[in-house]
Structure 1
Amino acid sequence: MSRPGSVRRRVSGLFSLPALVCLLLGSSAWAQATRTWVSGVGDDVNPCSRTAACKTFAGAISKTAAGGAIDVLDPGGFGTVNISKAITIDGGLNAGGILFSATNGVVVNAPGATVVLRNLTLHGGGTGLDGIRIVAAARVQVEGGAILGFTGSGIHVLPGAGAVQLVVRDVSVQGASAKTPATPAELAGSILLESGSAVIVNSQLSSGVIGLHALNNAKVTVSDTTLVHHSAQGLLAVGGAQVVLERSVVAQNGSGIKAEAPALVRLSDSLVGHNTGLGMEGTVVSFGNNRVAAGNGSDGAPTSTLPQN
């Protein structure tokens, strides 16, 4: 006959493993918060709460639930980050920083997800690759802040990203002056779109090789934006890309606007001036309300004019 003590030990052993599994699963679930924080004096071993913040975006994202948000408590550099789920990273009034050297600043590979990057300053220090590299997502919103010091592109939507929607608002992108393409069609661009669609509003693209570079079948709408000081084109559309440019300035570039057939650029209420070479070339359609005769090496002319409805 078994002793009572041995029975208790056997019963305890039967339940110890399931109980441990439940405990571990529960701990994992508790680690996912809908809102987390980072701080320049934080530590990634912390739970990323407001009173015990993490040190890096990479540390915080692992503890943030899909659809949640990471907020910046104070100024600092919070490291590069790979995003694989719906998330908002908000630099707030502190314009949280990401310093990246010989790598990409932010990589978005989140199929079907919406990613928001708000009030962030991404600085590649002259050796960084792409500031924001979009591999896959349903929608990526870049709001406020600045991207500079890179050698690739400030924002780069890759060909495989498919029907991703990019929204850029109130962003300054200072381009990759270190990269000199052998031909105008070589990949470069303060913003480079190889697929998907984009809306760019109230932003500044400056001081790179190409300002906005749209390829393949990318569809882009640009308004209230400046494209200035690029060594090649302020705007280059290639392949089946279509770009609408409204209430914008394309000035002091190597050339202003170039649309390589069958690409198409539609131009409305915009200024194309003081570009060293051609103001416009290729299939550029005007709504008849633009100012192109403004000190270009040669102004060029729209291929046709559309009525304003």
Structure 2
Amino acid sequence: MRMAALRRTATASILTVLASALIAVVAPPAFAQATRTWVSGVGDDVNPCSRTAPCKTFAGAISKTAAGGIISALDSAGFGAVTITKSITLDGTGTQASLLASGTNGVFINSATADVVLRNLDISAPTQPAGCSGINGVHVLAANSVRLDGVTIAGFQRGVNLPLTGANADVFVDVSLNNIDVRNNCVSGVHAEPAAGKQTRVVLDQARISTSNQALLVGPGAEAWVANSNLSLNNVGLVANGGARIHNMCGNTMVGNATASAFTDVAAECAPVVIPEPAPAPPAPAPVVITSPPVVTTVTVPTPAVYCVVPKLKGLKTAAAKAALTKAGCALGAVGKKKAAASKKGKVLLQAVPASTAVKPGTKVAVKIGK
């Protein structure tokens, strides 16, 4: 009997070894974490999250992604709320990648050493019928740095909330918000009010925060710089509590807010460039009047020619002919005689120079007198 018992024990041991070996052969291997993983609306979280076998949610993919890795969306879909406890990038570039969260946080970050990047994501909470149904769009309990690029956040109590309760007290948590669109959040768009002793530096560039109660709230331990951003159509644009500072770094717009607010200060680079008025031109010199002496032109007027126009002498007696010639400026010349009828005796019959001829003054005109 003892030998039979020994045989049964040996047989059982062999079966146990064989069963263990069989289990080791057929059991699926555990997935190693990858630095690059993917999610898809038609994926499955049991997959290794590779490009050809993507996961369905960010939460499913993050456990299969190494610290510092990237999870990319392959297509447009909702990939669910997610908790982040290590350095990671969630990238929805080229798709409409969304995270729908109701009654919870959209993205919860809780690692004091994590560097987190959220890129091109739509983080939303249903706004009907209860208004802001989500708690925080991005809730940062602890991180080393957080960067949002092209992220839309809507329908939460706070769009971006930075309590930083678990952050390291001896470092600044750097938060960079670039080209974000934050709207319809019931308490605030960006809420930077860290716990006592915690510190954060927040930079907003090309941010749009609208239709929220407070666009940007900054409290003790936080400091914010805002550039090229639009904080409009809110109840109030800026709130700085407890001596916190919000700096205007140029290019910002705040219009249509129900309550007026202002930046703590404005960067010197934003001051308008004042172009000094040009110095007045010196008065024009008095015109120099040059008086020229009058030009005297001597015109020599030729003395008009003087002529003697020989008068008609025929029929005049000698004395009358002489008088007519003298008056005209001529003179009586030689007086000849010629037989003539009795009626013509003593009268000029002929004159050497015809009547009406112009001759030099003093020209003697000879005549013939009838006898």
With the shorter chain as reference, the TM-score category is 0.7 to 0.9
1:192-227 Cα shifts (integer Å, max 9, x gaps): 001311111111011100101001120111110010
1:92 equivalent in structure 2:
93
How far apart in 1 are the matches of 2:166 and 2:234? Answer: 26
Greater share of residues in strand:
1
How far apart in 2 are the matches of 1:38 and 1:159? Answer: 29
2:161 equivalent in structure 1:
156
SS in 2 for 1:36: strand
Deviation, structure 1 residue 255: 2.2
Closer, same or farther: CA 198–11 of 1 in aligned 2, 3 Å: farther
1:116-172 Cα shifts (integer Å, max 9, x gaps): 10000011112111100000000001011311122x111010142543110111110
How far apart in 2 are the matches of 1:17 and 1:250? Answer: 70
Q: Is the 8 A contact 1:78 1:97 kept in 2?
A: yes
Deviation, structure 1 residue 31: 2.9
Deviation, structure 1 residue 256: 3.2
Pair 1:266-2:265 in alignment: yes
The percentage of aligned residue pairs carrying the same residue is 36
Instruction: Tell me the amino acid that sits aligned with residue 191 of structure 1.
Output: V
Q: Is the 8 A contact 1:138 1:165 kept in 2?
A: yes
SS in 2 for 1:58: helix
Alignment partner for residue 175 of structure 1, among 184, 194, 209?
184
Instruction: Tell me the amino acid that sits aligned with residue 238 of structure 1.
Output: N
Alignment of 1:269-284 (within 5 A): none
2:174 equivalent in structure 1:
165
Alignment partner for residue 236 of structure 1, among 232, 236, 239?
239
2:305 equivalent in structure 1:
none
Alignment partner for residue 200 of structure 1, among 184, 189, 204?
204
Instruction: Tell me the amino acid that sits aligned with residue 71 of structure 1.
Output: S
SS in 2 for 1:252: coil
How far apart in 2 are the matches of 1:115 and 1:149? Answer: 22
How far apart in 1 are the matches of 2:240 and 2:43? Answer: 44
| Runs (5+) with no aligned partner, structure 2 | 128-132, 195-199, 274-371
TM-score by length of 2: 0.61
Closer, same or farther: CA 39–159 of 1 in aligned 2, 3 Å: closer
| Runs (5+) with no aligned partner, structure 1 | 180-187, 260-264, 271-286, 291-309
SS in 1 for 2:94: helix
Closer, same or farther: CA 131–10 of 1 in aligned 2, 3 Å: same
Closer, same or farther: CA 45–205 of 1 in aligned 2, 3 Å: same
Q: Is the 8 A contact 1:217 1:240 kept in 2?
A: no
Closer, same or farther: CA 114–27 of 1 in aligned 2, 3 Å: farther
1:190 equivalent in structure 2:
189
Closer, same or farther: CA 141–121 of 1 in aligned 2, 3 Å: same
Deviation, structure 1 residue 9: 8.8
Q: Is the 8 A contact 1:153 1:175 kept in 2?
A: no
Pair 1:135-2:154 in alignment: no
1:246 equivalent in structure 2:
249
Alignment partner for residue 151 of structure 2, among 145, 151, 154?
145
Which entry has the higher C-alpha Rg, 1 or 2? 2
2:50 equivalent in structure 1:
49
Closer, same or farther: CA 161–226 of 1 in aligned 2, 3 Å: farther
Alignment of 1:283-294 (within 5 A): 288-289=271-272
SS in 2 for 1:59: helix
Closer, same or farther: CA 8–83 of 1 in aligned 2, 3 Å: same
1:162-192 Cα shifts (integer Å, max 9, x gaps): 431101111100132xx3xxxxxxxx32000
Deviation, structure 1 residue 87: 0.5
Instruction: Tell me the amino acid that sits aligned with residue 181 of structure 2.
Output: S
Q: How many pairs does the alignment contain?
A: 255
SS in 2 for 1:112: coil
How far apart in 2 are the matches of 1:258 and 1:249? Answer: 11
1:216 equivalent in structure 2:
220
2:102 equivalent in structure 1:
101
2:281 equivalent in structure 1:
none
